[in-house]
């Protein structure tokens, strides 16, 4: 055994004893590899092709050594990692100087060897580790962040969708129709203005990242809410300004936002907000639009946008996710 390795392990054993460090009892085969620095046969270890997300710990002392994100398939027959958890692994030259041994920095358990210059990954490093030296711990499941849905009408849905999907905290957007009496309307039917349906965008967002106030601010600043049944050159009730809420909180916030924005618009000499605020319980169901309308401007960057803005920022702290209206 390399003299430096011997003294390092002796130091760790004494330190662990003094500090009460828990050391797992090893089976004879585990002892052969971990203590006596043996090697398990290639392609026999349980973690060679292991792909779950989590952390690999030392079999002897349970110290975390490697993350699954740093594991890769080298085809060598042993688990391979191109990086270790900072400070978790120590390196020592073998007695013959030909290879570099890696051991657990916490207890000195033999892990395997490290190689460089092989070009497997961008880090150009391969920790070749015996599965028997490791214990895997799955990542703890995280509680999904709470999401909410709100639906907005502000002119042609191509532009509304394009503007709102850029707001940080918005998870998804979907163009569709809501607010009328005709079930499952087609785009052609809605364009007649006889269905009562509005061109709308259903927005899924994360309130912990994007508050309802900030989302409404983005909506108000993305179009002209003082324009009745019209945005730019698009005219008709299908192009009306409206907010279709899915919770009472959204409805309350929307009314408060209209009140605050109206004051700002009045001071700027602008007109009266005509945005409707309706619960989906009253407005009826949302009908997704035809596939070719979804992400329309992403697929057609030079496509038509009808939106004009008031030039007055909706009064919230800061300038809002879309910046000041132009």
Residue-wise pLDDT for 168-198, tens only, equals 999 999 999 999 999 999 999 999 999 999 9
For domain 3-138, which architecture applies? Beta Complex (2.170)
Residue range 200-241, pLDDT digits in tens: 999 999 999 999 999 999 999 999 999 999 998 899 999 999
Residue ranges of the chain assigned to CATH 3.30.1060.10: 148-299
61, 104, 128, 306: the active-site residue: 128
* Res. 145 pLDDT band, cuts 50 70 90: confident
Integer Cα distance of 131 and 301 in angstroms = 52
pLDDT at 301: 84
Active-site residue, from 156, 191, 306, 314: 156
More confident residue, 13 or 77: 77
CB-based burial label for 32 (10 Å; 0-12, 13-18, 19+): middle
For residues 326 and 324, what is the distance between their CA atoms, to the nearest angstrom? 6
Architecture in CATH of 148-299? 2-Layer Sandwich (3.30)
Q: Is 284 left (phi over 0), alpha (psi -120 to 50) or beta?
A: left
Active site residue 156: yes
Note the pLDDT tens digit of each residue in 89-102: 999 999 888 999 99
For residue 19, pLDDT over 70 is answered with: no
Identify the CA nearest to 178 among candidates 221, 149, 213, 207.
149
Residue-level pLDDT at 5: 52
Interior CA angle at 27 toward 56 and 107, to 5°?
50
- Indicate if the pLDDT at residue 159 is higher than 90: yes
Please indicate whether residue 61 is annotated as part of the active site.
no
How many helices (H) and strands (E) would you count in the chain? 8, 17
How confident is the model at residue 326, as a pLDDT? 34
For the chain, residues classed under CATH 2.170.150.20 are 3-138
**310 or 321: which carries more pLDDT confidence?**
310
- In the predicted model, is pLDDT for residue 287 greater than 50? yes
pLDDT at 152: 98
Examine the pLDDT at 317 and tell me if it is beyond 50: no
């Amino acid at each position: 055994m390399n003299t430096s390795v011997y003294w390092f392990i002796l130091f760790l054993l004494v330190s662990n004893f003094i500090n009460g460090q828990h050391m797992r009892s090893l089976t004879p085969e585990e002892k052969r590899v971990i203590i006596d620095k043996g090697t398990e046969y290639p392609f026999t270890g349980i973690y060679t092709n292991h792909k779950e997300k989590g952390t690999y710990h030392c079999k002897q002392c349970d110290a975390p050594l490697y993350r699954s994100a740093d594991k890769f398939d080298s085809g060598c027959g042993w688990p391979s990692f191109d990086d270790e958890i900072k400070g978790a692994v120590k390196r020592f030259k073998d007695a013959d100087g030909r290879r570099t041994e890696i051991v657990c920095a916490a207890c000195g358990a033999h892990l395997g060897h490290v190689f460089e210059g092989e070009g497997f990954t961008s880090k150009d490093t391969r920790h070749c580790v015996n599965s028997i030296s490791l214990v895997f711990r799955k990542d703890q499941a995280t509680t999904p962040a709470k999401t909410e849905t709100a639906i907005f009408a502000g002119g042609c849905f191509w532009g509304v969708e394009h503007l709102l999907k850029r707001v940080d905290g918005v998870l998804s957007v979907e163009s569709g129709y809501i607010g009328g009496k005709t079930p499952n309307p087609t785009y052609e039917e809605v364009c007649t203005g006889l269905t009562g349906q509005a061109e709308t965008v259903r927005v899924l967002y994360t309130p912990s990242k994007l508050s309802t106030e900030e989302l409404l601010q983005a909506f108000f600043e993305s179009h002209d809410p003082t324009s009745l049944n019209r945005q730019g050159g698009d005219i008709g009730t299908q192009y009306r300004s409206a907010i279709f809420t899915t919770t009472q909180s959204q409805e309350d916030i929307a009314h408060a936002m209209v009140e605050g924005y109206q004051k700002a618009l009045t001071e700027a000499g602008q007109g009266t907000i005509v945005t409707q605020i309706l619960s989906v319980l009253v407005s009826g169901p949302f009908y997704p639009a035809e596939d070719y309308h979804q992400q329309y401007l992403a697929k057609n960057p030079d496509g038509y946008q009808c939106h004009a803005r008031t030039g007055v920022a909706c009064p919230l702290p800061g300038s809002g996710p879309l910046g000041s209206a132009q």
